Every structure is written in C-alpha cells, then in structure tokens.
Structure 1
C-alpha cells in the first residue's frame, strides 16, 4: 500500500472531517464544525453547482491542457472533456463523490448511446438499474461496485436511486426539498415558477411569491442559525463571512439576492440550475437545456476522452505534492478555499505555484464577493500570480447557478 493509499484508508481517520476542524471540540465553533462535518460526510452534491460553461471560458480550456479539479458531483470534469484536454485529475475527500464520479465515467465509456446516458442520469427512470447491471457493473473497480451495490436503510441497492431521481437526494437535494416544504407552509408552490414563459413573468413570480417569504419570521429566524444552511454546503466559516455583508446579521437578504439572480437573470429554457432549484428536476425534452455533459452533441467527445480522467480520493494539496514541477495547466478549486485557514491556503498555493506550467490559470468561487486569497498569501507566492479582475467579474455575471458571490481567475505571471 502506497503512502497516499494509507492516508486514504478510512481506518486512519475521517480525513474529510479533519479538513474542516479548526476549533476545540467543546467550543461553540467546534461543535458547529463537527456537526457540519457529520452532515458533509454523506452524499452532498448529486449535481455540481458551478457552471462548467463559465469554467471552460475562464480557463480557455483546450487540447494539451492538464487539469486538476475538485470532483463534487462530477458534471464539471465531464463537461471539460468536450474541449479534449490531455488529462484531468479529479480530487475529492468525500467517498460518495468519488463513487459518483467513477460511475459517471464508466457510464460514458460503456453505455450504448446518449439515450442510455439520459435514462441513467436524467430525472429518474426505472430502467436505470438494468442499464447499470447490463453495461456498467463489471467495469467498475471493486470498491466502487461495492458502494453502488450496497444497501440503504430501506434495504434498497444504492444504484436504485437513479430510478427515483437522485437529484432529490443528498444533502443539497434534501435542503432544496425542505425549502419547498417551508414555502408551501406559507402558501407558495415554488415549482410554479417553471410555468413562466418569459423573463418578465419570471420576475413577476419572484417579486410577488418568493421575495416576500424572506420577510417571514420563521425564515428570518432559520437563516440566522449556521446549522440551518449546512444543507447548502455552507460551513460555519463561510456563514460568518456572508453574515458580515448582511444588514441584519442573518443570511435572509443574501439568500434572497442569490435566489433573485437564479430566478430572474436567465431564461428558464437556458438554465438547468433553476429547474433543479424550483422544480427539483431537469426540464423535459423541448422545455429547456440540460447540463453540458448530458447534451447529445457532447456525448461522443466525452466517451472518446473519458479515459483521460483519473479520480483520486485525496485533497488538492496532497495530490499536487506528489506531482512534478510544472506539470499542470488549469486548477479548479470550486469554493474549497472558503473553508481554509491561512496555513492551509498557503500550503495549497505553494503546491499550485510549484506544479503550474507557464500561463497556468486557477479558477475558484467564493461565498462572498471578494477573492479570499488577497492579502493572505505569502509575498513570494503572491508575486507569481496576476488577478484577472475584469474577466472574473464579467464571467461571474454569466454563472447560471447564481449561488456564489464571486468568481475569480488568476493567471501565472
């Protein structure tokens, strides 16, 4: 067993929780961190909530590039394959995300056609399990196959979730479901937004139905508590940063503004993120766009290039520490840095700087608007990078998921 594999062994400890813990266990902050770690140790994101089309534009991704990205739900790495990069390394500390990424890659390589991909990763089809058994199972590594064939609390095989709409599960899926339930308690069916036929109708529905919810006492009380937003993947440290920008110390105004962008800035036919938030599913054929990796025109490119992806159960910093200098071109950090202290941040960027090729780019998102690395990196490391502020702001406005405050691009000097 290699040293990297040893550190990935769950018997040595829960590395995901360890990455989150920055306070004593019996402190108020420590308790919040541990509760978040417990919730985050299961499946969190069945679908990634970063717009891969924005990523591709920001990276100027193309053939010959070597990419290192955090995995999450796996939609981003598959979308990147349409640009035919030389290699993609996917890292994640969550074993559920690792299993999901490996399943998606195997599906594209072994399912017979694009229709089968939609049947498995669309809105839930009872035939999905049969596709897994017939085409995919035998091609998975032993650990990944054992994961998907293990049983849930109701004695159902895990893979059966794809026959019931996986996007309604996981930490985020359950959080969205809870949001719908709270809205119904106040007489609002959020899913009715998807009946809007224009941006004007979307705006009217938001202003008349959704926006007033954020003034209700229950919702203001709920959003004033860190644990209530763990379902969005917002850890305690991120919550504190967001609350600083709020007039009343709750996240109600922040969430309202983010939801407004999601509901009103893009036509529904172009925004599958809005469909997942408001309808808890993807649009049916003819009603709107699907994620990049599920679009028919992307199928052949993803199938052909899927072998170029390697999935690692490791942290970003850890993987890079095993790589040669000047060995990667593009680094995708999602919002992981929002969780990091200064020591972790500098360790990460030290490895990024060492392994970055000439003209390499780093992209990431932040819960708040400002870049979280400004003024926190050591002078030597910071001098190696240039912040592309105008491009960051321009592309950030085009991010259809709308849940982040800032999108940031750095280029190696």
Structure 2
C-alpha cells in the first residue's frame, strides 16, 4: 500500500513517544471480554499492546509506521524476559542511583540486531532519563517541567497535587493554589499547536486539528485534578514531576508482570500500516489517535479497510485530541456507537489531554 497522508509528511526515524499516553486501564476495560480473541493494536511505545495481554487473547497483532517505535516495544519485551519486576521499572524510570546501563547490557543480547544497534546508540540517554523518558514528546514535557512550571508554582505546590484528598479538598486546592493567572498564561503559550508541534508532536500531526488546544488542556487538567484522584494518575505524575510517584501504567504494575511475561509470545509485531493486514480478522482494535492524522477521505478509506478486517461484534477503540473523528457517514450502518460505555470510561480516563474517547461496535 503506498504511503499517503502522515506517512509521507512526518518523521518516523526518532522515538516520538517513549511511553504510551493513552490510558491502558480504559483501553482494557473497553475491550474486556472472553479469552482467546484476536486484537489489532497501534504500537506507539508498546505499553498498551502489552496491557492487552491481560485479556488473555489468542494474538495481539501490533503495527506501526515507525521502526523506532517498534524498537520501544522490542526493548520492553526483552527487559520483561530478562529482568525482575523491580529492575524493569528501574530501567523505565529516571530513578536516581540506578545503573541503567548495566541493566541494558543484560537486555541487549535478547534484542534483534537492528533493535540492539538502535539502543546501543542511546545508552547515555537511557542512563539519564530512563527508557520512558527518551522520546520527543517526553522531552516536551521535560521542558515544561523544568523551565515553565517553576515560573508558575513552587515545588511544594506541585508535590501537593499528588497528596490524597477528598474531592472537595481537591477542588479547593485547585482553585486556591493551582489555577492562577500564570497557569492560564503558560497554557496559552506552551500548549499551543505551534509549540507542541515544534517540541512535542510533529507539526504534520496538527494538519487536521480544530479548536483551542490550551482551552482543552485547562479543562481536562481540572477534571484530572479535581474529579479524579491525581495520586493515582501516572500520566499527570510524569508530566509534573518527571517520574511515577505511587502510580504506574497498567502494563508496568507488579501484580501484572508475571502474566504479561508469560504471554509475550502472543504478540505479532511488525512494521506497516495498521489497516494493511491481509487475510486476518480481529475482535478488537486499539487505534490510539491514528485517525486525527488523516484527512477526511483518507480516514473514511482507512475505516472501511478496518471494517473489512473485523469479525462480527468487533470493537474499535480510539481517541481524539484535536481532530473530531467518528465513524464516517458512509460506514455508519456498519457500526453502533457505545455511548454509555464511552461516557463511563471517559469520566475515568487519566490521560487527560484527549478531548474524546470513541468506542464503536461492528454490527
């Protein structure tokens, strides 16, 4: 299939996402069902593909246009096979006084030659930042955390976000200590499409964006800080303090480590478009936010190809940040929106910068 749209415009030779920024708890809840099913997943950094193994599938087919992103999953697989759980987390996190280079030297022999060469050239970055900190998007948040956030709030206020509180106390803390004019000004500047495109995402990823990203960030941050419990939010913790403090992404948690490790052979990982899987049928789809990088006609064509890969009753799960995407009108009769499940899971979604969670069932 020829490269079109984002595949011909954005760079795919760098680690853009060193960790996955869609909430795996939400994804796994959305795709819950009987064992033995087959899933198709966008790779990104691989965390959510690993999380799908908790559903006891027959196979998880993982695809990405970026070989660098596939290397992120490959090193996780090798680390899970080689290291104990605490060592795995130490390799992922920028934990002080941990020799991550020594951990990587144990992991590298378990990688393919291409993945081994890729990570050997990045050992210094892994030593300093942890595997989960070496991506462009993570660097964007690091710039915010180190250069912008200290101009808005002191360290005590930032740490105070993650103190367990009642909802009423969280709302008081947010109103009285967090939501000041400096915060509102900083979000207007730093979370603009221009800055995020230059420092975080590729500018091409915003070609079809609509609406105000800063306003969306402020609204969703309030939801994550008040309606939810930040002490249990690994995504907010990484953004504001640069590490996970008491909360880990689903696939990294100790209670799931042995289960995921035992099922790693069920992953089918490869380079390519997620909608280009000949002669396979799937029961569930983890599509990340892949549709918002597409023009309307490309989105419709891609959606149609995914429907052709779907078993009856298959479920599509995806997110939108800035480009509103739902089933194209031409395919509307083939799917049913699961609005009740969307609403319930969206309220609990800890990855607070996405505007919309979409769950659609093939009829």
Give the TM-score of the pair, scaled to structure 1. 0.78
Q: Displacement, 1:346?
A: 2.3
Match of 1:76 in 2: 48
Q: Displacement, 1:176?
A: 1.3
Preserved contact between residue 328 and residue 355 of structure 1 (Cα < 8 Å)? yes
Match of 1:96 in 2: 68
Distance 1:331 1:367 in 2: 18
Match of 2:233 in 1: 271
Distance 1:259 1:92 in 2: 29
- Relative contact order: is structure 1 or structure 2 higher (C-alpha 8 Å, sep ≥ 6)? 2
The one of 128, 149, 159 equivalent to 1:183 is 149
After TM superposition, the structure 1 = structure 2 runs for residues 301-340 of structure 1, keeping only pairs within 5 Å, are 301-318=259-276, 320=277, 322-324=278-280, 327-340=281-294
Cα-to-partner distance string for 1:307-337 (whole Å, 9 max, x where unaligned): 111211111122x2x233xx21111111110
- Bigger Rg over Cα: 1
Q: Displacement, 1:122?
A: 3.2
Match of 2:164 in 1: 197
Match of 1:108 in 2: 80
Larger deviation, residues 164-173 vs 394-403: 164-173
Q: Displacement, 1:281?
A: 0.3
Match of 2:111 in 1: 140
Match of 1:165 in 2: 130
Which runs of 5 or more structure 1 residues have no equivalent in the other structure?
8-14, 23-33, 244-249
Distance 2:177 2:200 in 1: 22
Q: Displacement, 1:73?
A: 1.8
The one of 284, 296, 300 equivalent to 1:346 is 300
Cα-to-partner distance string for 1:241-277 (whole Å, 9 max, x where unaligned): 442xxxxxx5332221122122222223321112112
Q: Displacement, 1:172?
A: 1.7
Distance 2:90 2:359 in 1: 35
CA RMSD of aligned residues (A): 2.7
Distance 1:117 1:240 in 2: 38
After TM superposition, the structure 1 = structure 2 runs for residues 7-406 of structure 1, keeping only pairs within 5 Å, are 19-20=5-6, 37-38=10-11, 41-111=13-83, 113-124=84-95, 126-134=98-106, 136-150=107-121, 157=123, 161-162=126-127, 164-180=129-145, 181-186=147-152, 188-189=154-155, 191-194=158-161, 196-199=163-166, 200-212=168-180, 213-216=182-185, 219-221=187-189, 223=191, 226-230=193-197, 231-233=199-201, 235=203, 238=206, 241-243=209-211, 250-283=212-245, 288-318=246-276, 320=277, 322-324=278-280, 327-368=281-322, 372-374=325-327, 376-378=328-330, 381-406=331-356
Q: Displacement, 1:296?
A: 1.4
Distance 1:210 1:389 in 2: 33
